[in-house]
Chains A and B, each alone.
Chain A
Amino acid sequence: MLFGRKKKEEPHKGDVLLAQGIYLRPPVMDNGHLVLNCFLRSLIVFLLVFGSIGGFLSAFNISYHYLLVLVMYFLLSMYFSFLYATPKFVYRDLGYILFFSLFLGAIYVFRIYANSGFYVVINTVLARAQAFFNLEGVRDYEVQINNDYLTVAIMAVFVGMVMIIILNIWIYSSMSLVWTLFLTFPLQFLPLYLKLNMDSIYIIALSIGYLSVIVFKANGHYLAFAWDAPFHVRGLKKNRITYTQDAGIFRQILTSLLILFFCMVIIMETVFPASAFDGKFKNDRLRESTADAVSNFLLLGFAGMFNRYQSTGGMSGGRLGGISNVRPDYQPDLIVSYTPYSNEAIYLKGYTGGAYGDNCWESIYPETAADKADDVAVFEEESLKKEGLQLQRLFDAQQKYSACGVMDVRNVGADTAYLYYPYYTIFEDYSVYHNHSMMSSVQGLGYQEENNYLYYPKVVWEDALGEVRPDQIDTSRVEEVYLEVPEKNKKVIEKECERIGLTAQMTENEIVESVRTYFADNIPYTLKPGSTPRNEDFVNYFLTRNRKGYCAHFASAATLLFRNMGIPARYIEGYAFSLETALASDENTTKKYDNYYQGYSSIGRSTVLDVEVTDAMAHAWVEIYVEGFGWKTVEVTPGSAETTDEDDFWSAFTEFLNGANDDDTQSNSSGQLSLSQYRWLVNVVLAVLFLFVLVYLLKLLIRKTVRILRCNQKNQREAVIASYADICDMIRLCDQRFNSCRSHKEQMLYMSAHYCNIENRDKLCEDLEQISFSQAEAAGNVLDSLSAMIKKVRKAIWKKEKIRNRLRLCKR
């Protein structure tokens, strides 16, 4: 040979030993069989994926481009199946790389289609869920492309593609029923839960798929990679040979199952139709007990599973910490008819929190009302009657900046437990609102109910209100509770005051401004701050660890900060909307300006507007007590840069790849889905992987330790036998032909030929046989020479084997 050494001829490489001197030769692979085999196996994957995804879509009655989906599923199943028919691993790997390149390209080109298709499905599912659970506030996702027929098909192709890839691997490698069920059946849970039945054709497809997997799993004959011999040797004693290359049996089994299932389904649907079946169950415990959780899940996704109460925006009644994110549905909660009069936001007060404790702002109403008058007094104080009357007097005296307005508030979707009224409203009869338990829905603004409020806005704060130090405030005029800071918060709040730089010398305005500026500069606003961990205080967690949040976080923290500085403060929930929102609303031409507003307006004469106040405008803020005036609103929540709350998976994915979500501030400010909230999921996956690796390494370590101990045991004779068995195992792992060496003599001959020359082979062989099979005492020098031989061979194995085999030996 000119260009290299000639390879040593290996006479029976790949042969199966049938008896001594008789070998089964690997036959030449029949390409026709192989192709047909791959085709039929791909049919199983195709049936499963088509049955699963098609069944889901058919259950929700979503129509799509059937032909496109069928063809694509079929081609993809075939493609991945044929990757296993390629004779070399490298072709398969290249096939995967090629596919993923195409996949990335396709995903980029069709991302909007896929997104739209996905939203169509989500919208349909939510609509069905809305009807099923009688849900309110189900949002409708915006679909960018209105060709549902096509977009759903493209989405189905992308989802199916992923499923086909994974399923194909498991079907080919181990005909895994567990993975098959795990990948295909969960998709059916939702339709089943919502009592939707998929079309029969999909039931048949899925059933055939499952049964095929069961049958082939139970019987073997499923290994037919191109690189496998058609005769596959199995069994512990290597005496079981399986013929794997028979495509005909696949065809016959699939056909049998098709006929059987088709007949069965037709008979069942005729004899015992679905309508007859539905009436058989009298109670529905599952749905009764899980309706809340499932509806919450449908509304909020996985995050909703961990919520202790649902939050789609709107009022929370002072309860904090139970939700991880807020997903407004952007549906109107209130319709407010009023006339704008300044640039300032309009606040509609709903709930007033007094004492803070257990992640909740408690109602200012006493637990047990002594009499009706107590409640009325509290309501007068809550609704700022005194301040309103003061402004009313100014208006009556025709003071320059005074004004009077009328506001109509109609409840079209807000919580009916609360009233929603503008600041400085003068109620006609305060005694009506005597029930301190506003949550009982007795006193609130009922659904489709409309209240007309007369209010006296404070348009201009021309006097230096709040320009006093807190210690100069006459706190005897307010309840003590408005100055209470719970013990558990004291430390954190004081530290935060220090950090902000609040001092006793500062005036109310300075303190408020410092807090506001600090919050704006240091703590980002987000609708997805994550839920407060159990046993953690909401405010403490927000100020010390989480350092991000939405209005409830800021308002709660600020309330306690103000109280700590000696300013009476309370937590308020309600709705707030800006002038911009108002100006974007419809003009109500039936209502006259003069009937709705009189007096000073900083923006001049305008018109009556019907403002749709959505749940996204639900808000929390602070009221502080200003010496000489009374309660005044303070806005401490920084402006949100979030432009939309749409969950755009592709954007989020891109962002995730770009690493933008490393910083929640950035990700949230981009206004797209933050994957950081799923960091726990990544952590779980990593933990599981780590666990797997750990268990694997541990097992490896135990195996190796046991082996080393066995080979180095005190009894030298046993140690030699174990060591010899060990090197035989090593060689077997590297070369299966070693299995054909049945006697020590043959084994040593093989070792001599392949690894290193064994001197005195016959003598050593005799000695080894003697110590292995007889009870005769063995001389020390005999054992020493055997040990030396074993060491030599072991060394030679490590030296001469290829890297691939060395790795195998390492993994032993």
Chain B
Amino acid sequence: MKRIRNIIRYVVIVILDVFIMYVFHSYINLLLLACLLLFPFYSVYGLHKVSQEVKIDVLVPEEPMGKGEEFQVRFLLHNPTVFPLVNVTLSLEIKNGFYGLEGAHFLNLPLRARKDTRVFYPVVMEHCGRFEIKVRNIRLTDLLGIYEKVVPIEAERECLVFPLGSERGQEAGQMYRRGVTEAMESREKGYDFSEVSGIREYIPGDKLQNIHWKLSVKKDELMVKERISVSAMQLNVLVELCNDDQMRLESVLELADSVTKAFVSQNLPFTVFYYSVNQGNLRDCYIGNEIERVQWMEMLLYDRCYMGEGRVEELFLQQNPSGGTYLYIGAGLGNEDAENTIFGDMGAAAQLRSY
């Protein structure tokens, strides 16, 4: 419709110019007419050239961002031709891959000639998850708005947005103590229920006690012992990724973030279990340090949440029928066993359960 309107407008102007030229015998209008007749060719030719050369790049932060933090999505449109375009429409798909929330919209941008057009798109995510942006195509419109061309371009980027859990160190520590008494006692005595599985370079955040001092002196750089827990009494943490309309999973993730962060900061190893929709079964992940925790969180956010009944606890019990204690983090838990429960927002809670 807009194109038709633009065509009509332009034709009316040309007719008006011809009329004035004819009626007034005006040379000025002849010049104007020549320009008016040439301009559409210039405009369409320019569009054609641009459509052959145009490139787009989308950039998002490589590091995971925190929930509610603003981050920049950058669009870089490269037009090496000498023809500028005023209207280039990007067809965009924006998605939170974890929650499966998506939206599509069009972004109109100008496209400069012989230069990159950079547009910064400040985005903020209200929920944690996986921010995905995809450019499906670019619709180029000529200067007069009378001719369009769609250039199929696939550009896709994603960025993880982590939950920002609050400091729950004390509560989490107590909970751990109750859940893994043996492990706690041993740790206090200086024992460690773990074996060295390998040696690697130091990464900031590694615990001091894991540094292999002798080797570090020899190699003149810090080396760290990688450990595997051999304790049979590790705490199992079950995270329920079941969502509902009220988005209570957000609180669950925040609580899980708080609790696991607290465990790691207190050197308390644990195994996290969650139901992976991508794999269709229970996944577990041993976490002994912050890197492992972050990797777990990334892995979790690359997965998807699910709606309906919770699955993780049921599957865990099926796979571990021998009994024990585990920490269940989910939503909609009752207040009956308040002593063994850490409460989060919107009904989310971490509850120590035995079977």
Contact = CB atoms under 8 A, between A and B. Distances in A.
B127 A21 contact: yes
B54 to A, nearest CB: 15
A207 B86 CA distance: 19
B35 A260 contact: yes
A188 B32 CA distance: 13
Q: Among B23, B24, B70, B99, find the residue whose CB has the most chain A CB atoms closer than 10 A.
A: B24
B196 interface: no
B126 A21 contact: yes
Given A27-B122, A246-B117, A197 B39 contact: no
B186 interface: no
A252 B84 CA distance: 7
Interface string A259-291: 011001100110010100110110010100000
A508 to B, nearest CB: 61
B35 A211 contact: yes
A48 to B, nearest CB: 14
Contacts of A277: 25, 27, 30
Interface string B83-127: 110110100001110010111111111111101010111111111
A499 B268 CA distance: 120
B144 A239 contact: no
Q: Among B9, B30, B32, find the residue whose CB has the most chain A CB atoms closer than 10 A.
A: B32
Contact of A274 (B27, B95, B109, B143): B27
A207 B123 contact: no
A242 interface: yes
A25 B123 contact: yes
B182 to A, nearest CB: 42
A211 B105 contact: no
Interface stretch (A215-223, A541-549, A697-705, A804-812): A215-223
B112 A249 contact: yes
Nearest to A267: B34
B13 interface: yes
B113 A252 contact: yes
B216 interface: no
Given A215-B86, A248-B112, A260-B42, A207 B32 contact: yes
B105 A241 contact: yes
A24 B10 contact: no
Contacts of B34: 264, 268
B123 A264 contact: no
Given A18-B103, A239-B105, A23 B123 contact: yes
A752 interface: no
B28 A214 contact: no
Chain A interface size range: 35 or more
A265 B31 CA distance: 6
B174 interface: no
A214 B144 contact: yes
Contacts of B9: 177, 214, 217-218
B108 A220 contact: yes
Chain B interface size range: 35 or more
Contacts of A645: none
Interface in A11-52: 11-12, 15, 17-27
B141 interface: yes
A33 to B, nearest CB: 11
A260 B124 contact: no
B38 interface: yes
A22 B144 contact: no
B96 A21 contact: yes
Contact of B86 (A22, A211, A216, A269): A216
A281 B25 contact: yes
Contact of A264 (B35, B84, B119): B35
A241 B141 CA distance: 16
B275 interface: no
A582 interface: no
A591 interface: no
A253 interface: yes
Given A214-B13, A241-B108, A22 B23 contact: no
B84 A256 contact: yes
B145 interface: yes
A192 interface: yes
Q: Among B28, B106, B112, B127, find the residue whose CB has the most chain A CB atoms closer than 10 A.
A: B28
Contact of B94 (A18, A188, A216): A18
B20 interface: yes
B96 A20 contact: yes
Given A177-B9, A192-B28, A256-B84, A243 B107 contact: yes
A260 B94 contact: no
B166 interface: no
A274 B30 CA distance: 9
A280 B101 CA distance: 68
A268 B109 CA distance: 35
B107 A253 contact: no
A24 B108 contact: no
Nearest to A216: B86
Nearest to A195: B25
Interface of B: 6, 9-10, 13, 20, 23-32, 34-35, 38-39, 42, 70, 83-84, 86-87, 89, 94-96, 99, 101-113, 115, 117, 119-127, 129, 131, 141, 143-146, 245, 247
9 nearest A-B pairs in the assembled complex, by CB-CB distance: A19-B103, A218-B145, A249-B110, A219-B86, A219-B87, A252-B84, A21-B126, A25-B122, A192-B24
21 contacts: A12-B126, A19-B101, A19-B102, A21-B101, A21-B125, A22-B94, A22-B101, A23-B126, A25-B123, A203-B28, A211-B39, A218-B86, A220-B87, A221-B87, A241-B105, A246-B117, A248-B112, A264-B34, A274-B27, A278-B27, A745-B245
Given A20-B99, A20-B101, A218-B144, 17 more contacts: A19-B95, A22-B103, A23-B126, A25-B122, A25-B123, A192-B20, A192-B28, A192-B29, A195-B25, A203-B28, A203-B32, A215-B143, A216-B86, A240-B89, A243-B109, A246-B117, A253-B84
